[in-house]
Structures are given as C-alpha cells and as structure tokens.
Chains A and B, each alone.
Chain A
Amino acid sequence: MASTRAKLLIGGAVLASLVLVGAYLAAGGASYEPLKSQDPCKPRPWRDPQGLQQLAEQFTLSALDGAACQLGVSRETLARALATDKARERFAKKYGIDDEKLAKAIRAGLVRAVDDAEEAGALTPFIAVPLRGALENIPLDQAIELVKDGRKIFEGASGILGPVGGFLEELIP
C-alpha cells in the first residue's frame, strides 16, 4: 500500500511536470523573445510607395540600412544614435566612430537608398543619377537630417539638385 502511494506520488509529479512544460512549449514558450534585428547589409524589399510620404519613409529606411551596413551596426542602433546629439556622442564613443567616418557611412547609405528606389521603380534614372551625385558630397549635419526625415530630400530637392529638383514631385510615381 505504502509502495503504491509512493509510486503514485512520483508518477503524479512526473505527469504534472510534463503537462506544464508541454503546455507552455505548445503555447510558444520556446520562442517568446524579442524580434531579431535584420542584417542591414541584406536588401530589404520596398513596399509599393503610395505618394511622397511613403516614398520618403522607404528612402529613410534604406538609407539607415546602408549606413548601418557600412558601420557594422544594426539599423536600429544607428537610428537611436541619430535621434539626439547626446545619443550620437555616446554612439561615437562606444563604437569609436568619428564624424568623418559617420558622414561617409551616411552618404553611402543615402546613395544605397537612391539605388533601392531606382530598383523598385520609385525613381527614374533621370532623377537618380544627379541625386546620387549630389548626395555623395552632402555635409554631415544635412545628411543626418535627410536620414532622419527622408521627405526633406524630396521637399527640399531644389536645394540639393538645383533646377532638376523642381521636377521631382511630378516625376515620382
């Protein structure tokens, strides 16, 4: 009798444990974790942009990916670093990145965004070529502003591209 109770107790303990662990596994317990950051060097598909605002957003994300890829950090880390001056300073210190290196990476990111936009059919070569040329020499502060808000590249295109910029709003899909 005592032996049966002992076996029942141990069997009950095993069963209760297996049921609990099995139920939590079935409910997704093994994969309940934050989303993993995507490799910024891998191409990210463009959604079909509906108007200037969406085009600007896609452009911003592509530029961030491109710059992050150059710097060897995640897109998210770079986005937070560019949010405030303090965050930028901390980022520069942590990763040993000076302004020159940052500017170079952001310019490369902006150029990649133009490439991606052209590939997605959002920009015609007629616009992409001069835009690419203009972005390759843009000052750091202006480059950061463009990455933070891609609309400025299109809204303020006349400043960047000169007379060509005026046609932008009419030419983009």
Chain B
Amino acid sequence: MNAPRPRVAALAAAVGIVLADSSIVVLALPEIYRDLDTSVAGVTWVLVSFNLVMALAAVPAALLARRLGPGRTAAIGLAIFAGAGVACGVADQLSTLIIARCVQALGGAAAVTAALELLPAAVGSERRAAVVWAGAGATGAALGPAAGGLLTELVSWQAVFFVQVPIALAAAVPILAVARDEASTQVIEAETRRAGRPHLWANLALAMISASIAAALFLLVLLLIEGWRLTPIGAAIVVTVMPVAAYFGSRLAPFVPSERARAAAGAILVSGGLGGLALLPHASVWLTLPPQILVGVGLSLVLSALTETALSGRAPQAIHGGWTISARHAGVVLGLLALTPVFTHDIEVQRRDAINAGTAVLLDSPANPLLKIEMAKRISERLDDEEGKVPTIGPAFEPLPDDPEERTEVVGLREELQDQLDRGATHAFSPSFGIAALLGLLALIPIALARRVDL
C-alpha cells in the first residue's frame, strides 16, 4: 500500500486528538461546573461518560475495523467525533453534554483502534506502528492540559470542544482515500490470525495505574482551581509539569530493557508522587512540582512498559491495542467513580471546618469589636453568595479601611482567614490522593504476576 506522509500524520493526529480529550477537558471542568450550575459529582460525569464509553467500545470498535475496513471505520469515527464535538460545544445542560460526550467517545474509539490497524501498512511494521500510535497518544495527553487551560481562559469551555472539530475533520481527509479504496475494491484485508486472549495481568495493572493517574490529574486540577483559586491557564501551566516530566522519563526506557522493572519503578514513582500530594505541608503550587515530577516520570515508565507487555507477541495488534485502551479508560472510570464520593464529602467537611476556623480567628482576634462585627457581616454575606463552594474571602475585606492601624488589622485578619481556607481546601484532597497512591502501589501485584503467569 502506498503510504504518503500526510496519511501517517493524519492517523497520528486522529489518535492524538482523541486521547487528548480526557486531559483537555479536565481544565474546563471547573468552568463547566459553574456555567451549567451543577455539582462536583455531576461534572465528573463529563469525564466519566467519555472514558466509560471508550472502555466499552474500544474492543468492539477494533473488531468493526477489521470487518468494515479500518479506513472506513476511522473516517466514520472521526466524523462522529467531530459532530459530537459540536454538540458538546452547544450543550446548555449537563445531560446534553454527557450524551454528546458518549457519542464522541464512540467515534473516538472507532478512530483510535482503526488507526492502529492502518498504521502498520503506513509505516512499514507493526512495531513501528505501535511506537507511532503510543507516541501520538502521549503527545495528545501532554498537550491537552495546556491547550484546555488556554482555550478555557481565553475563549470559553465550549472552545475546548469546537477546536477539536476542524482537527478531526482534517485528519479524516487523507484517510478517506483508504476508505474509497476499500469501498471500490470491496476487499478487506482480513486478519487471518485469530485474536488471542488479552494479557490479563498487564491490562489489570494498566487499569489500576490509570485510575491513580486520572485521579492525580483530576484532583490536582480541582485543588488548583477550586481550592487555591488559580485561573485555568495558571493551573494548565502548573500541571504541564507532569507531561514534561513524562517526556524526560520516557528517555530512561531504552536503558532498562526489562518491562517489569520499568513498570514496577513507574508504579512506585506514581504512588510516591501521589503520597507527596496527599501530604502537602502548605498551599503552594511550588510544592506540587516535586510530586508531579515523580508522577510524570512514573507514568511514562509504567504505561509504556505495560502497553508493550500487553501487545508483545499478540496479534492482531488492533484488538490488543483495543484491550489496552479499554483497560486504561476503565481504570480512569473506576478511579473517578471510587474517589468522587470521597473527595466531595471531604470538600464539604473541610469547607465547614475552614469556615469555623476562620470564624474562630475573627472572634479571637484583638481587632476593634465594631470592625469585627462589620467583617463578620461581610464574610457571612460572602458565604451566602458562594454556598457549597470553597469561598473566595478577599472581596469581603474590600475596601480596606483608611485608618492605617485598622488597615493593618484587616489585612492580618484576611491573611489568617485565607490561611484557614487554604488549609481546608488542601486537606480536603489528602485522603483522595492517599487512596490513589494506594491504588498505584496495588498495581505492583499484577505487575509482579505479569511475567510469571502469562495468560
């Protein structure tokens, strides 16, 4: 088959744009949460629905690609992905958005698995195809947070979905030639080898580690934006440390041929990083950087090693690639569903504790009683305005008094109150980060079993 470079680029773009979808949306979630006036648990489904459908549809989509033809499947998948992207962008209700996300995932699953079927012919070998496929996915995931944060802040959360439409359609154009060939010749290069059983332990470990990584990204973004009040673009810059660290971490892989060692080291680093996030000693973005570096390096090691293990010696790759996609997205879903009730409960508890602590600071402060009464009124009104959320306390102190002594007292009070709120917001995420770290450590069990019992 003639394989022009635009086709390889289009296939890589298709994989990148679909697998970027989880991470690109994460930074838009707080805006969606406010704009559609929903709950944290509700907005989680914007992410969960996409990953759930991807998990369920990946293997059937790979089978469809083999029956219908990968070119046609990829082209149709990209068209569905683009159309559903428009529907996501115009959605004015959470339910509409979630349905559109499900349809988007169906199209995405078809495009990604069909791309793995098309790539060996385009690049010359299955091994090279797997590298391009995994690399495109990693690049998409790496660029996702920054792109999502930029679009959300400069334009709107809807732009995150609209921008995917022309990219998906442009990627579909070169693939249409393959689809036309398939239609005119009516010949599908049917895979003669039977699809063997998926690698159970590698896929199980992939699911567990994906659960902890998804939790890391999702929880960290929520902490930065909803807890520490960073802008989406600010949060995007902060969480970009993870994919940058992942890039450098991927450079370690060639020096350690043992997939099991890379997977184990990666899982340990992911858990260590999440453990650090669970034990943040202060509300500072700088303190999130070392844990993010560990998570980033760890995820690059563990995901590539487990994917290689899952695909190694198994054919056809599209089906087994489908299993890895399915395992990873199922892990994301399980991680989010397991942790959402934990952190939504903890956020409420910590919000209440932080407000109580702030009130205690106000009551016990040596400030002028009349000033304290005025402050208490303003803070109370502020809490009324932001019921159910971690409040922004700053505006309650504006305008600052003209009297220098009172001004100093008010500024001191504001700092003490903000400190209590920061403590509450940070501590609210600790148990969830801790559980995610534990999940990462538990992934060591299937990693250890992956070599001994190869199912």
Contacts and interface: CB of A to CB of B under 8 A. Distances in A.
A30 to B, nearest CB: 6
A9 B262 contact: yes
Contacts of B276: 20-21, 24
Contact of B258 (A6, A35, A83): A6
A80 B294 contact: no
Nearest to A78: B359
Given A13-B265, A149-B369, A30 B424 contact: no
Secondary structure type dominating chain B contacts? helix
Given A9-B261, A149-B373, A76 B363 contact: yes
B154 interface: no
Interface string B243-263: 000000000100111101110
Interface in A122-144: none
A33 B420 CA distance: 8
Given A76-B359, A149-B373, A34 B354 contact: yes
Given A10-B264, A33-B427, A60-B369, A17 B355 contact: no
Interface in B223-282: 252, 255-258, 260-262, 264-266, 268-269, 271-273, 275-276, 278-282
Contact of A53 (B282, B301, B364, B369): B369
B279 A29 contact: yes
Contact of A83 (B260, B273, B290, B376): B376
Interface of B: 252, 255-258, 260-262, 264-266, 268-269, 271-273, 275-276, 278-282, 287, 290-291, 294, 298, 301, 350, 353-361, 363-364, 369-370, 373, 376-377, 379-381, 383-384, 420-421, 423-424, 426-427
Lowest 7 CB-CB distances: which A-B pairs, in order? A17-B272, A29-B279, A6-B261, A76-B359, A27-B281, A34-B357, A13-B265
Interface of A: 2-3, 5-7, 9-10, 12-14, 16-18, 20-21, 24-25, 27-30, 32-38, 53, 56-57, 60-61, 64, 74-77, 79-80, 83-84, 86-87, 148-151
